[in-house]
Structure 1
Amino acid sequence: MAQQPSDSLHLHVFSMHTSPLAQPGRGDAGGMNVYIDRSLRALLALDPALTVEVFTLRTDGGPSGTDTLGERAQVHSLVLPRAVGLAKADLPAFIPDFARAVREKATREPSVLHGHYWLSGLAAREAYPHIPLVQTMHTTAAAKNARLGEGESTEPAERWEGEKQLVEEAATLVVNTKFEADQMRRYYGATDDRLCVINPGVDTSIFYPSTRVSALNTGSDTTAHLVFAGRPQPLKGPHLLVEALALLPEDLQVSLDIMGRSGGTYEQDLLERAQQLGLGQAVTLGSSVSAVELADVFRRADIVACPSSSETFGLVALEAQACGTAVIASKVDGLVEAVADGLTGILVTERTPHAWAQAIESLVRNPDFRLGLGAAGAARAGRMTWEQTARALDRIYRQLSLAQP
């Protein structure tokens, strides 16, 4: 491997089960992909002495290869023949092979490692046991198991044990919110000297409020356009929205767009359920779209809904607020910090169709309040930038790099 100048910082980012270049809202790609992509771009703009290699495992049958993520950053997509076609749940067995492939592919010895999700953290530790590791879980087994909803599966003990190991071995645990920090202390025994709270940001060059009221967002008190964006799955809760729409009074006309594809049958089941409830014309399914297109979807929506059972933060909620759209979200985990209850959106305590129907009706019937939430959300989200996230991460990387013997 090539030697790097003494004043440079070479970062290895591990994102084993999904590439930061993947389309969010499709398959396993979601908020974590956005986090890695946007934070790295901001880091590269901030620190001219930083170079990055990102490593991800390709399981879709495509070839291995290297792409770029801005200047001075390479994304290596690695292929393990025996892992082709496997699901994320099957990947723990391939951590050692992935770590070995990373070492073979890397062009430089890393100064610091950053693992995203537990699989990546264990692979990073396997590949470079003596290099400082920064770990971001994004989600944890303990938090998900504590808030299981209908149709959601319990996370395996293997995952909890892996996360526990990372909490003990990582130099720094980066968490999105104070609430997540509390979870890491409560569930995994994390200590304050290793925990660092860094809020994600929003790209306000893409997500910004409209200067006009669209044809759909009219301020009506009887009609509204509702949007769900993300991977359709029980944990994310779009089924709650379908059931809630069926409970609304007959004088309300509320449509729902579900933006994203899971790769399974879940969203098709949603459409069939909507037909059973007489909502066939009100519920539509769309594919995941680019950030620019998603921002336009948010700007044209009256309400963006985030009915997840657990979220370490909830980037969709923040991006929707940045577009000046009111948000309804579950009162759980990081969503409590992503959404200011009663100021930029409404937090729903009970994760039931009845509770969600009440929340939706309250915003539909009060358009002035709804529009006020959107305006306040845009102002608040505009102050939460990826540059702030990048500055905090860069400080951590630099401190760990300097601390090495």
Structure 2
Amino acid sequence: MSMHTSPLDQPGTADAGGMNVYILRSLQALLKLYPNLSVEVFTLDTSSSPSESVQVSEFLPRTLIHNVRVDSAVGAAKEQLPLIVDDFAMAVSRSAVKKPDVVHSHYWLSGMCVLSLREITWKDYSVPWVHTMHTTAAAKDARSGQGEDREPQARYEGEQKICREVTSLVVNTVDEAQQMVRWYGVQKEKVVVIPPGVDTHVFHDVVPSRRAHEGSSSQCFLVFAGRPQPLKGVHILVEALALLPPDISIRCAFIGQGSSEYHRQLVSRAQELGVDECIDFYPSFPPEKLAEFFRQADIVAVPSSSETFGLVALEAQACGAAVLASDVDGLRSAVADGVSGVLVASRTPEAWAFALERMVRSPQRRRLLGHNGVQRARVKTWEHSAEDMLSLYRTLMSLA
């Protein structure tokens, strides 16, 4: 269940991000490991021009992707989707081809849909239910910075109900597991830690000479990849660039969809600070193209206020780039501080300018961090994640 975004959507556009990568790569690895597995994916189609109601993809064999149409959802924004959950659940119950042996929902909206389905369709049918939050209201609000809105009370209440009713809650890190127990009162035995992976066939290193400024202590190519929104912290990078000493020259590639008001503010602020000429804004790219940018990057920056894991940080490490990331929750697991990257303690322009300058001035350190990152990523594959997920599914099915 992935109500608000399809796993086939391009990460970095609209509401698509790390969760889309997580679902797609998890399913690909599961389908490869288990030839008898068949999957139905349900996602809400909010477009004004309908897409195919049932879609098949070469990326996901033995999988039906249901683009569910609900009249009340046409043109709806993500913030309006909680009001459409019951209608979506009804439509899902009508379009499902088979009764499931196990259900896995992603994000709180999909979890609310499963709760509704249990009332509508599965009253007398015990279906093991696995849920992955990907992010929670409590985590976002605990780390939120300037310009980041508080999460609505309805989300808190929905997440609490999901935590009470779900069979198993899959989290990315031990940190996240502790958060779920502390903030939501989840029973410890319900929580299963399964770290995400990285596709090392796509995200891999090349010879160091491909890097833009491999040996320079005054020049650097920096890459940011993600949706342009306050919680991702791109504005911090813009402000930090203006604080760097004049002898440091950083060329930046900011990769992500750029049509929001926040993006327009970024461009305007960069012009005010006189750093616009060193920043190139790009649309979102497919994984292969994104990996090329990471391979050329001297530094990949992840200044998020909160991440349940931070797939971009792991993908960048797999490509041999030195990573600078916020010292928050999931990024502490994605990046080994001082080994495969550096965690920045404060999300202020001053702290990031200081960290950037130190990294630029230390080309040997960048090389070492990049080398260690490649080694670290090699053992964090989607196949390992899928094996753990499949084991969980089988256990729950045997108990049902």
TM-score scaled to structure 2, two decimals? 0.96
State the identity %: 52
| Mapped contact 1:26–1:263 kept (Cα < 8 A) | no
Look up the equivalent residue of 1:288 and give its one-letter code: S
| Mapped contact 1:27–1:263 kept (Cα < 8 A) | no
Pair 1:167 & 2:163 matched: yes
Distance 1:215 1:106 in 2: 49
Pair 1:67 & 2:55 matched: yes
Distance 2:65 2:210 in 1: 39
Q: Which residue in 2 is equivalent to 1:241?
A: 237
SS of the equivalent of 2:230 reads coil
Distance 1:20 1:280 in 2: 34
- How big is the shift at 1:58? 1.2
| Mapped contact 2:8–2:20 kept (Cα < 8 A) | yes
- How big is the shift at 1:402? 1.7
| Mapped contact 2:211–2:295 kept (Cα < 8 A) | no
- Within the candidate set 23, 26, 32, 2:10 is matched to 23
Matches within 5 A, 1:113-132: 113-128=103-118, 129=122, 130-132=126-128
* Cα distance change on mapping 1:76 and 1:26 into 2, 3 Å: same
| Mapped contact 1:64–1:78 kept (Cα < 8 A) | no
| Mapped contact 2:211–2:298 kept (Cα < 8 A) | no
Aligned-CA RMSD value: 1.0
Matches within 5 A, 1:247-326: 247-261=243-257, 263-326=259-322
Over residues 298-324 of structure 1, what are the superposed CA-to-partner deviations in whole Å (9 max), with x where a residue is unaligned? 001110000000000000000000000
| Mapped contact 2:13–2:284 kept (Cα < 8 A) | yes
- Within the candidate set 323, 333, 336, 2:332 is matched to 336
SS of the equivalent of 2:203 reads coil
> 5+ residue gaps in structure 1?
1-13
Q: Which residue in 2 is equivalent to 1:206?
A: 202
Distance 1:60 1:212 in 2: 44
Q: Which residue in 1 is equivalent to 2:67?
A: 77
Bigger helix fraction: 2
- How big is the shift at 1:212? 4.2
| Mapped contact 2:43–2:65 kept (Cα < 8 A) | yes
- How big is the shift at 1:211? 2.2
Deviates more, 1:272-281 or 1:122-131: 122-131
SS of the equivalent of 2:19 reads helix
- Within the candidate set 86, 89, 98, 1:99 is matched to 89
> 5+ residue gaps in structure 2?
none
Distance 2:309 2:135 in 1: 9
* Cα distance change on mapping 1:114 and 1:211 into 2, 3 Å: same
Q: Which residue in 2 is equivalent to 1:3?
A: none
| Mapped contact 2:302–2:313 kept (Cα < 8 A) | yes
Distance 2:164 2:258 in 1: 33
| Mapped contact 1:267–1:285 kept (Cα < 8 A) | no
- How big is the shift at 1:262? 5.5
Q: Which runs of 4+ in 1 moved over 3 A?
A: none
Corresponding residue pairs, total: 391
- Within the candidate set 137, 149, 172, 2:145 is matched to 149
- How big is the shift at 1:263? 4.2
* Cα distance change on mapping 1:17 and 1:262 into 2, 3 Å: farther
| Mapped contact 1:19–1:56 kept (Cα < 8 A) | yes
Pair 1:400 & 2:396 matched: yes
Q: Which residue in 1 is equivalent to 2:37?
A: 50
* Cα distance change on mapping 1:141 and 1:55 into 2, 3 Å: same
Distance 2:117 2:43 in 1: 13
| Mapped contact 1:125–1:133 kept (Cα < 8 A) | no
Pair 1:219 & 2:209 matched: no
